[in-house]
Chains A and B, each alone.
Chain A
Amino acid sequence: MKIFGPNSLSTFFYYIFRSISIVLLVFLTYMEFAFITDKFTVKDGRFDMKIPLIGSSIQGDYQFSDILTISLILIFGILLFYLLSNIFKALKETIIFNKGIVKNLKLLTILNLVIGPILYFLIHYPIMHKTEFRNIHNLILLIIFGMISLFLTYVFKNGYTVQSENDLTI
């Protein structure tokens, strides 16, 4: 199977990641709508929200901090999968060294190296008021992904320059 170009593995991943981002967006919208319109039950200080079609439910402490944390993580997830789908969209083009992939890799780097850690500390301390430093593996993973995408951005940037020169060689 082809890795890049039309009808390739990149096309498959583009549809997968785009679908995930849409599902997460629908899920977030439903959740916010359910909270606004009181379509959930509260028992022993915990909320229980039924997810339609799946039959499952979301549960958590009925506190603003918990709801805000879930919402922020979902927004981060939507952005992450949307950017990943955009990267694979650029990879399914005939010429993979294009402006689109450089732009989206740059945004993915910013998301993982700047927004991700800020969100992590924001959720950990001001929102959830945690005293101990837990779940550090999430932060490490974000930084690793960010560093990889940073290097990939420069690889594709150089590739785009070479591609442009090649295109302008008559």
Chain B
Amino acid sequence: MSIVVNLNTVLAERNLKSKELAEMIGITEANLSILKSGKAKAIRFSTLEAICKALDCQPADILAYKKE
């Protein structure tokens, strides 16, 4: 997929673990793993909003378009 999820980078910058983020935004670790691995087909605005709020970042910090 051309959309890349940079969640690992943002998490590392903030010294946060996946488990902590999953608890903060109220999704399972399994779902967060799907999102991080790029296997997810779509992301809800509500999830994106929760991630941005928890990590204090913009959607563009998490998602990027990469030409294949």
Chain A interface residues (CB < 8 Å from chain B): 164-165, 168-170
In-complex Cβ contact of A168 among B27, B32, B42, B47 (8 A): B42
Closest B residue to A169 using CB positions? B42
**Interchain CB contact under 8 A, B39 and A168:** yes
Chain B residues close to A by CB (< 8 Å): 27, 31-32, 34-35, 39-44, 47
Residue from A164, A165, A169, A170 having most chain B Cβ neighbours under 10 A: A170
Docked CA distance A53–B15 (Å): 74
Closest 10 CB pairs of A and B: A168-B41, A169-B42, A170-B35, A165-B41, A170-B40, A170-B31, A168-B40, A170-B43, A170-B47, A169-B41
A170–B39 Cα distance when bound, in Å, is: 10
Task: Name which residue of chain B comes closest to A168, CB basis.
Answer: B41
